[in-house]
Every structure is written in C-alpha cells, then in structure tokens.
Amino acid sequence: MTLRVVVNGAAGRMGQSAVNAIEKDPELTLAGVSGRHDNLENVIKSAQADIVVDLTNAHSVYQNSLTILNAGCHPVIGTSGLTEAQVAELQTLAKQKSLGGIVVPNFSIGAVLMMNLAAQAAKFFSYAEIIEYHHEKKADAPSCTALCTAEMLKTAPRDKQADQPIKHTVPGSRGAVHNDIPVHAVRMPGVIAKQQIIFGGLDETLTLEHHSISREAFMPGLLVACKQVVHLEGLLYGLEKILEIE
C-alpha cells in the first residue's frame, strides 16, 4: 500500500516540483493538493491523507502545521520561518497525538552532508571561512544555509592575539562575521546556489563545496522525508536526523 500525500502550497515553485516528484514515486500517492484559497483540513479529510508536505510561506506555516497534526496527519514541513518556540510547541503537540513529523530547513542531501562534514573538519582546523553564491534575485544575504553552517563550526583553538592586525581599507572587506566565522555572499546571474567552506591549517587548506543547479536538488530528500515520517516518534528537526549521518 502506498502512502497518501497532500502537498500544501502546490502551485508554488517548490510545490510544483514536489507534486511531480511524488507522482513519479511508486511508494507514494499524490492524494491531494492545496493552496492559499483551500481549506487544508477539508483537503486532508477528503484525500484521506497520511502525510502533508507544507511548502507555503512563513506567515502560514505554523497554523498549517497545527492543522496537519490536529487532523491526525504526519507533517513534512519544508517551509522556512518556524521559530524555535513554535517548533517546541509542535513537538509537544506531536507527542500528545503520538504522531511522527519532521521540519526540514534544507531538503538537499548534499547540503546537509556538507554541513555535517564541515562540523567534523572544523575540529582539526583553526581557520574557517564561508563563501556562498546565489542568483541576483535572492532577497536575503547571507543565506540561511551559510548562517546555519557557521553556527555548526567549532574550530580548533588558536591564539587570535597573534593574528596579523588588518587595516580594512574598504569596510566589510573581510565579510560578515557570524559565530566568529567570516561569511562572504556573492550575488550574480549564472548561479543558482553554491557554497564553499574553506579551512586553513599549517601549510594546507581544505575546501568543501556544494552546488545545486535547480530545485530538483531538494526532491530526493523530500521523498526520503515522506517515506520516513510515518515511522518517526515525535517531531524531528533537520534531514540529518533521518539520514543516519549523526
């Protein structure tokens, strides 16, 4: 028997890719689609859904997540914008309802692996910098992935007093500093999303690099999340929790 999935936000860019990917997967059935003008609870009921994938926007994602759990469905939340407090409240509700769910800030398996590999590498290097590249229409900088990566990096100790003092001829030339890690954001046409993490040690550097060339890069992770979510206990945060890399 296949798992019945509703996609909320189905008319959006990510939603359309999700609908196509789910329709092609023999283990999943696209049971329904929902958008801004639909009543999500009614769609879930008439679709007899097991799972709802939410790909909407920051304003509606919390209410959608409550609706999904209250309807007895497993949420796969890809939408950005849930606060830590909201995730904690959803975790409490999922526990009360005995429902597995997952919030996935980044469905890209490569990006998740890059961040985890970087956290490992950081222990062995005392210098690390991040360069992220996105298309010129991206509204924010630095990217959430870059900030999240910086937060995961706990570099080896070094004597910062011994660093050469720098005269910043142009302010900002060493990038924005987050969690003590310089982060440089490049915006230009010809690129979708790319990130490099460069580590420096005695006479060596190590560069980890990840590219995604379209939203299709998110689909393998999204499909894994749909298939795993029904087996989860409680609401997890992050694709890495189900990729067995921790």
Ligand X SMILES: NC(=O)c1ccc[n+]([C@@H]2O[C@H](COP(=O)([O-])OP(=O)(O)OC[C@H]3O[C@@H](n4cnc5c(N)ncnc54)[C@H](OP(=O)(O)O)[C@@H]3O)[C@@H](O)[C@H]2O)c1
The residues assigned a catalytic role are: 134, 138
Selected binder of ligand X within 32, 78, 100, 142 (CB under 6 A): 78
**According to the binding rule CB under 6 A, does residue 120 interact with ligand X?**
no
Selected binder of ligand X within 3, 6, 7, 14 (CB under 6 A): 14
Pairing status of strand 3-8 against strand 28-34: parallel
Which span (19-27, 34-42, 117-125, 159-167) binds ligand X, by CB under 6 A? 34-42
Which span (4-12, 42-50, 116-124, 158-166) binds ligand X, by CB under 6 A? 4-12
CB of 148 to ligand X, least distance (A): 12
**According to the binding rule CB under 6 A, does residue 135 interact with ligand X?**
no
**According to the binding rule CB under 6 A, does residue 226 interact with ligand X?**
no
Indicate the residue among 32 and 125 with the shorter CB distance to ligand X: 32
* Residue 165, preceding peptide bond in cis (omega within 30° of 0): no
**According to the binding rule CB under 6 A, does residue 145 interact with ligand X?**
no
CB of 36 to ligand X, least distance (A): 4
Q: Which residues pair with 110 in a beta bridge?
A: none
**According to the binding rule CB under 6 A, does residue 57 interact with ligand X?**
yes
**According to the binding rule CB under 6 A, does residue 142 interact with ligand X?**
no
**According to the binding rule CB under 6 A, does residue 101 interact with ligand X?**
no
Contacts of 238 (CB under 8 A, 6+ apart): 103, 104, 105, 112
**According to the binding rule CB under 6 A, does residue 100 interact with ligand X?**
no
Nearest to 99 by CA among 75, 133, 134: 75
Helical (H) or strand (E) element with 101: strand 101-103
Give one DSSP letter per residue of 154-222, joined into a string. -PPP--GGGSPP---SSTTTT-EEETTEEEEEEE-TT-SEEEEEEEEETTEEEEEEEEE-SGGGGHHHH
On whether the CB atoms of residues 225 and 239 are closer than 8 A, the answer is: yes
